[in-house]
Amino acid sequence: MTQRDEDTDEDTTAVSFTGAVRAFGSVRAVDGVDLRIGRGETVALLGRNGAGKSTTIGMLLGLYPPDAGRVELFGTEPERAVRAGRVGAMLQDARPVPRVTVGELVGFVASRYPAPMPVSRALELAGISALAGRRVDRLSGGQVQRVRFAVALAGDPSLLVLDEPTAALDVEARHVFWESMRGYARRGHTVLFSTHYLEEADSFADRIVVMDRGRIVADGTGEELRRAAGGSLVCVDLAGRTPDALALLPGVRSLEVVAGDRVRLRTDDSDATVIALAELGAIRRLEVAPASLDDAFLALTSSAEPGTGPEHRTSVPLDTVKAL
């Protein structure tokens, strides 16, 4: 790579993980992660509890230095990017500050940044303008969550990192939150958020990164992940046939007996699968449906059995997303 190529890459990259490793004792919470997030992208980070999401975010924020590999934000160390005011974060374990008002808290945080967002604007984006004079320690859980969002926005950061941002929010508040996020991202800001709400990742992220056992197992759009898990689900009664025979049908990637005499086929080509079923004989209670993001997530994170070493699992680049 030439110096010009390196300069161009730095100009367009907000987040870069290269072979990043972080262990706690004998447990590798992050195990050789390679990840690039371009400036202006909105990326969702998914994974089961213990998959390594929070440690990855901690490394990105400079809270955990990598044991091996490299983590960079905007071409520099995370600590430098944070000190320069280029990063805002909304973390799950932040506690309400006692005896200060919402406006005072957001104003104080904004004052620590070189080019902060106006406090009134941060409160407006978080949907808490009416709470400016209220004490933070007397708010509900959902209100405190929105205060955390306003605090993350206060410095008008280039990169916004959100750990489970809509936890404790009701449906209406979640809708308001994501409308605000859309507006913020449209201004060219980079957003990385973790969530357990798969529909949020599908609706609001440009890309979805799936982690499992400390490694990235898939990286792509919601549609790419659904295709990776098998584009469609075909459910049908066995009607005297053996599951092994149906597993060999065209397009079938996996098979599951779901209830007694009924089977679910995950297939890349539902038309070919159904035609082949018809050629075998009677089709009873046939159902065909596209695979959901939930199906894709379960397929991607349950493919490796506990105790399987990392040598049996590989990262999946954006242009070749597939189930592992």
Q: Domain with 189 in it: what CATH number? A: 3.40.50.300
Q: Are 121 and 155 within one domain?
A: yes
Concatenate the DSSP letters of all residues of 13-56 into one string.
EEEEEEEEEEEETTEEEEEEEEEEEETT-EEEEE--TTSSHHHH
Q: Are 23 and 149 within one domain?
A: yes
Q: Are 277 and 158 within one domain?
A: no
How many Cβ atoms sit within 10 Å of the Cβ of residue 238? 15
In a domain, residue 320? The reply is no
Q: Are 89 and 58 within one domain?
A: yes
* Nearest alpha-carbon partner for 310 in 55, 62, 52, 66: 52
d(C-alpha 8, C-alpha 150), whole Å: 32
Phi, psi for 37 (deg, rounded to 5): -120, 120
d(C-alpha 324, C-alpha 315), whole Å: 9
pLDDT in tens, the chain (324 residues): 444 344 445 579 999 999 999 999 999 999 999 999 999 999 999 999 999 999 999 999 999 999 999 999 999 999 999 999 999 999 877 677 889 999 999 999 999 999 999 999 999 999 999 999 999 999 998 899 999 999 999 999 999 999 999 988 888 888 888 988 888 888 899 999 998 888 899 999 999 999 999 999 999 999 888 877 667 899 999 988 889 889 999 999 888 898 878 999 988 899 999 999 999 887 899 999 988 888 888 878 865 444 333 333 333 333 333 322
Q: Are 101 and 192 within one domain?
A: yes
Residue 26 CB-density burial (10 A; 0-12 exposed, 13-18 middle, 19+ buried): exposed
Q: Are 176 and 280 within one domain?
A: no
Q: Are 252 and 199 within one domain?
A: no
Range(s) of the domain holding residue 179: 3-222
In a domain, residue 314? The reply is no
| Cβ 32 vs Cβ 69: under 8 Å | yes
Q: Are 205 and 238 within one domain?
A: no
Phi, psi for 44 (deg, rounded to 5): -100, 140
What CATH number does the domain containing 264 carry?
Answer: 3.30.70.920
Residue 299 CB-density burial (10 A; 0-12 exposed, 13-18 middle, 19+ buried): buried
Q: Are 185 and 277 within one domain?
A: no
Q: Which amino acid is residue 64, in one-letter code?
A: Y
Q: Which amino acid is residue 20, in one-letter code?
A: A
Q: What kind and span of H or E run contains 262?
A: strand 262-267
